[in-house]
Amino acid sequence: MWKKILNILKNPLFILAIIFIVGLVLRLLEINRTSFWYDEAFTGDVLKMSWKDMFAVIAADKVHPPLFYVIARVWASIFGFTQESLRGLSIFFGLGTSILGYFVEKNLFDKKRFPIVGLVIALAIAISPFFIAYSNEARSYSFLALLALGLAFTVIKWLDSKEKLEKRKYLIISLILGISLCATHYLQIVFIIAVICTVLIYKFVFTEKGLNKKGLWRTLGVILLAILGILFLPIKAFLLSHDISGMWWITDVKLYEVVRVYYSYFLGVVRYMDGVPPMRDLIVDIPQLLLAGSLFLIQLLSYVYILVSKRFSTEEKRHITFFYVLGIVTFLGFYILSAIGFNSFVERYTIAGGIVLFVSFWITIASVLRNWFVLVPIGIYVSFILMLTPVSTRIDYREVAKTLDGMNNVHRYVFTSPTDLIDSQFYMSHTNVYYYYEYTGKYPGWALLKDDVNGVYMNDIQEGDILIAPDYEVKKFRDLGYVQIASIGSEFTILSK
């Protein structure tokens, strides 16, 4: 009996199930810690509409294609239009990515070592603060990570397949995954281009026969020309002159800042912050870019060692190269976009390259250390995670909605901030929710806001209407003759005429 129990405990699938449970628990601990922030509330508000209205708002928003919304709408129709349900969909995709990491290692690398290495990859994804955070966001990001890792895997299988039927199968799956990525998030075209570049390197530079030096020099020449073009051609000025630019809230990124993604994907970001989410802090004073640069150098040196070592077969070197190059090229692609004025370098947008680079790191380290020695870096990783400072809380819009729903004889609920309107109305049972504005014209790019439907001018405020204003705006409305009738925590004041 003890022998049977020991065999069960040693079974990789049993350990994988334990990792799955650990990942699930860590994600469920976060599912209700905060209410929706703007992006998530947008998802929830849109999904509550009719199919026709949902597609109209998505088209007007001009930010994301509809695939994720369709999947989320079907999911919510089954499991409910609640915060737990919508975040649960992302948790489902996040845990799927962790499990997929195990099977990628199992199918592509040394069969003698895959259980321990595959389990380490699955565990690293399961406990990564970044992937935990975005597995709790009612947005498409954990879905993108799953699609991207799946695409990297199927493309390698397609390249390696010898039989025509098998090759065609993996090509079709790769095309479906690639189209799904672009149908979920427009910026994933950068990842698709990176995949194409990596495929060319795999076939013509690092071939089955080894390194093709001519192909390598040609590749380096193309890279050099691209860098010179970015540096000396007035591409950015040309695009700006034609009103082509990136997101206004994303700052320019310097080339050395690109390595920050190592810190972000390993130790997380504060996902619900306005603007570019800041990286999470440690309780010890270690410069974030220094730590990120150290992780970058560790992987780079480990990769160089693998290339020059005779311990590894050409196939192993090619597979490791594919993942490493794909991650690097993706981030260079986003940097190039930023350099020419299309600012889009945010970790959640680059998550496709992030999951590949994250998996690549652990594959590279595990290949160098071999066997159980890989538990040393995973132990160090866990130690750093435990040294993260807790993430601060934010406004709980569930409490805002609960307070407002409990009020009687209210004609219209008018939020002075459209952001607060969108964040709160998902949780409210009332539909007579509006926003207040002082000028004509719609909020640019705010597809959910329509002046003639849910906008209220100052002069249109009537008896029975209430204003919900952040505390920092209260004086402004008191000066206009409004009086305070209640408060919501320490964040909002309710006023009326």
Nearest CA to 148 out of 365, 349, 295, 362 is that of 349
> Are 304 and 403 members of one domain?
no
Q: Please compute the mean of the pLDDT values over residues 363-387 and round it to a whole number.
A: 92
By residue count, the chain amounts to 497
- Asked if 72 and 122 sit in the same domain, the reply is yes
In a domain, residue 392? The reply is: no
- How do strand 210-211 and strand 206-207 relate by DSSP bridges? antiparallel
Least confident segment among 67-71, 144-148, 334-338, 381-385: 334-338
Quote the number of domains for the chain.
2
Residue 45 lies in a domain: no
Q: Are 471 and 493 in contact (CB under 8 A)?
A: yes
Q: How confident is the model at residue 182 (pLDDT cuts 50, 70, 90)?
A: very high
Is residue 279 located within the same domain as residue 422? no
Give me the amino acid identity at 228. Answer: L
| pLDDT range class, residue 490, cuts 50, 70, 90 | confident
Measured between alpha carbons, how far is 416 from 375 in angstroms, rounded to an integer?
Answer: 53
Q: Kindly report the average pLDDT of the chain as a whole number.
A: 91
Which residue matches tokens 């609960």?
402
Query: What per-residue confidence (pLDDT) applies to 301?
Result: 97
Out of 29-43, 242-256, 383-397, 425-439, which region has the weakest mean confidence (pLDDT)? 242-256
Predicted local confidence at residue 8, as pLDDT: 73
Report the C-alpha gap between 94 and 97 in whole angstroms: 5
Give a yes or no: residue 167 inside a domain: yes
| 9 and 147 part of one domain | yes
Residues above pLDDT 70, as percent of the chain: 96
CA nearest neighbour of 35 among 183, 136, 152, 153: 136
Which tens digits make up the pLDDT trace of 386-436? 999 999 888 999 999 999 999 999 999 999 988 899 999 999 999 899 988
Domain for residue 224, yes or no? Answer: yes
Pairing of strands 465-470, 455-457: unpaired
Tell me the mean pLDDT in the region 45-50: 94
Amino acid, single-letter form, for residue 338: S
367 pLDDT higher than 60: yes
Q: Is the pLDDT of residue 65 over 80?
A: yes
Is 406 in the same domain as 316? no
Which class for 113: exposed (0-12), middle (13-18), buried (19 or more C-beta within 10 A)?
middle
Based on the fold, state whether residues 380 and 453 are members of the same structural domain. no
Q: Residue 140's pLDDT is what? A: 97
> Is 363 domain-assigned?
yes
Q: Has residue 452 got a pLDDT over 70?
A: no
Domain stop point among 353, 386, 419: 386
Give the HSE-up count for residue 94: Cα atoms under 13 Å, Cβ half-sphere: 36
What DSSP assignment string belongs to 238-295?
A: HHHHTT----TTSPP--GGGGGHHHHHHHH-B-TTSSSSPPBPPBSS---HHHHHHHH
Q: What percent of the chain has pLDDT over 90?
A: 68
Is residue 351 located within the same domain as residue 402? no
How far apart CA 263 and CA 272 sit, in angstroms, is: 18
pLDDT above 70: residue 114: no
Q: Long-range contacts: 172-180, Cβ < 8 Å, 24+?
A: 177/147, 177/150, 177/151, 178/151, 180/67, 180/147
Q: 363, 386, 409: which is the final residue of a domain?
A: 386
Q: Over 60: is that where the pLDDT of 348 sits?
A: yes
> Residue 186 has what pLDDT?
94
Place of tokens 């193309």: 222
Domain boundary among 386, 407, 438: 386
Residues 427 and 381 in one domain: no
Average pLDDT of span 362-390: 92
Residue 443 pLDDT:
53
CA 242 to chain centroid, in Å, comes to: 30
Q: How much is the pTM?
A: 0.94
pLDDT of 234 reads 79
289 and 368 both lie in a single domain: yes
Most confident of 124-133, 332-341, 428-437: 124-133
In a domain, 481, yes or no: yes
> Among positive and negative, which fits the CA dihedral 438, 441, 443, 447?
positive
Say how far residue 258 (Cα) sits from the centre of its chain: 16
Instruction: Assess whether 324 and 455 both reside in one domain.
Output: no
Query: In whole angstroms, what is the distance from residue 153 CA to residue 323 CA?
Result: 9
In this structure, are 421 and 468 located in the same domain? Answer: yes
Whether residues 322 and 459 fall in one domain: no
On the CB side of 346, CA atoms within 13 Å amount to: 22
Task: Name the nearest CA neighbour of 170 among 180, 160, 157.
Answer: 157
Residue 175 scores a pLDDT above 90: yes
| Whether 441 contacts 455, CB under 8 Å | no
Q: In this structure, which amino acid lies at residue 342?
A: F
Question: Is 35 a domain residue?
Answer: no
Q: Whole-angstrom Cα distance, residue 483 to residue 134? A: 41
Range of the domain at 340: 2-30+64-386
Amino acid in position 465:
D
Q: Is residue 320 domain-resident?
A: yes
| DSSP letter assigned to residue 472 | G
> What CA–CA distances, in Å, run from 404 to 125, 282, 417?
40, 38, 15
